[in-house]
């Protein structure tokens, strides 16, 4: 058969079997829905669920093609979603509340990941500092850029510590733990997500550290959450719903299989050490699963706790609490 005959013959076959050809063409062009996922910081064990969701096929099962981009903080993540450079991502809920209150950014929180905030004090294990109340008259070192600084005055107030009694030192984030281990400061402010790295550094120096979470000292509020651009939510509500359901599966798998999940993070991001990622997953479990998630259901934003989160935020920023309704920052339609 020559080439001149091949083309019309194929056309005739399609005309004779239109249904079959239509099905063939449709399957050839259909593809999974794409989701650009924006991290609020660099990859690590605390970001494991999105990598687990990709590697274990949870997103693929939901007909989703998810790509991941690193971030440089919650404000960076919020900005990229608001400007259309990402679809769904992670952010500290406090940062989103402030962004909504100040600029009404077109971004909403759709699922709670950390129902407790990760802010903490780190002190040497042989220190006489056993609670927040003990930091009076101590040297406290912090990074200039951490959101923990916003809440430090409130933490001191709640625990009856005179803010004038402490000496607050600001240093580069990479210098915090070395300063603590060398005795150049008494207390360091960091996040519980840094516990593994800090303890590894301490072990190399022949020391151990004690971690004092701020949520044990009176500051109870939501923290890391899944956020999405309102544009994407409105245009792709079904995609958003499928993403949240798949991410929920990934969260469950991550904490049921921490060692495998740590290896998955390493496999997908080789510069992340697998054992460190695993240790981080284990160390932050209390931020993910706790009395709040047991009581309210994992992923939920209750009206009462959301209001409390905004109350602490407004007070920390010294702005009137009634200038903004925190309910306008969340969209509960996609919580499984």
Shared-domain flag, residues 105 and 249:
yes
Shared-domain flag, residues 196 and 268:
no
Shared-domain flag, residues 112 and 237:
yes
Shared-domain flag, residues 208 and 127:
yes
Shared-domain flag, residues 260 and 207:
no
Shared-domain flag, residues 92 and 112:
yes
CATH of the domain at 281: 3.40.190.10
Contact indicator for 127, 76 with CB cutoff of 8 Å: no
Shared-domain flag, residues 5 and 45:
no
Shared-domain flag, residues 71 and 23:
no
Shared-domain flag, residues 39 and 95:
yes
Shared-domain flag, residues 198 and 321:
no
Domain of residue 198, residue span:
119-217
Total H helices, total E strands in the chain: 16, 10
Q: Which of 166, 197, 217 is the last residue of a domain?
A: 217
pLDDT in tens, the chain (336 residues): 444 333 333 334 343 444 444 444 444 346 899 999 999 989 999 999 999 999 999 999 999 999 999 998 899 999 999 999 999 999 999 999 999 999 999 999 999 999 999 999 999 999 999 999 999 999 999 998 788 998 999 999 999 999 999 999 999 989 999 999 999 999 999 999 899 999 999 999 999 999 999 999 998 899 999 999 999 999 999 999 999 999 999 999 999 999 999 999 999 999 999 999 999 999 999 999 999 999 999 999 999 999 999 999 999 888 999 999 999 999 999 998
Q: Which of 217, 242, 276 is the last residue of a domain?
A: 217
Shared-domain flag, residues 102 and 244:
yes
Number of folded domains in the chain?
3
Quote the strand ranges of 56-200, DSSP E. Answer: 64-69, 88-92, 107-112, 119-124, 139-142, 167-170, 187-191
**How many CB atoms within 10 Å of residue 48?**
29
């Amino acid at each position: 058969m020559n080439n001149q005959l091949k083309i019309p013959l194929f056309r005739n076959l399609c005309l004779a079997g239109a249904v079959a050809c239509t099905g063939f063409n449709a399957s050839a062009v259909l593809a999974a829905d794409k989701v650009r996922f924006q991290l609020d910081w660099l990859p690590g064990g605390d970001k494991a669920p999105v990598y687990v969701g990709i590697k274990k096929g949870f997103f693929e099962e939901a007909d989703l093609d998810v790509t991941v981009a690193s971030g440089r903080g919650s404000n960076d993540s919020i900005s990229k979603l608001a400007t259309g450079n990402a679809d769904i991502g992670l952010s500290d809920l406090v940062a989103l509340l402030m962004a909504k209150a100040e600029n009404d950014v077109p971004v909403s929180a759709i699922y709670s990941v950390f129902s407790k905030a990760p802010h903490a004090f780190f002190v040497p294990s042989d220190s006489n500092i056993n609670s927040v109340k003990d930091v009076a008259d101590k040297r406290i070192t912090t990074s200039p850029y951490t959101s923990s600084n916003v809440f430090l005055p409130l933490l001191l107030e709640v625990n009856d510590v005179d803010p004038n009694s402490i000496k607050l030192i600001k240093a580069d984030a990479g210098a915090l733990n070395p300063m603590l281990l060398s005795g150049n400061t008494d207390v360091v402010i960091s996040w519980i997500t840094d516990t593994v790295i800090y303890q590894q550094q301490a072990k190399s120096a022949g020391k151990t550290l004690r971690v004092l979470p701020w949520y044990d000292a009176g500051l109870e509020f939501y923290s890391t959450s899944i956020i999405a651009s309102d544009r994407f939510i409105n245009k792709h509500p079904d995609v958003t719903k499928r993403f949240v359901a798949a991410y929920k599966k990934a969260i469950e798998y991550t904490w049921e299989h921490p060692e495998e999940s740590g290896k998955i993070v390493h496999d997908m991001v080789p510069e992340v050490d697998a054992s460190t990622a695993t240790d981080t997953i284990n160390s932050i479990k209390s931020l993910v699963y706790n009395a709040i998630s047991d009581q309210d259901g994992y992923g939920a934003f209750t009206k009462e706790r959301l209001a409390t989160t905004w109350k602490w935020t407004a007070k920390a920023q010294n702005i009137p609490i009634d200038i903004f309704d925190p309910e306008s920052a969340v969209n509960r339609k996609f919580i499984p």
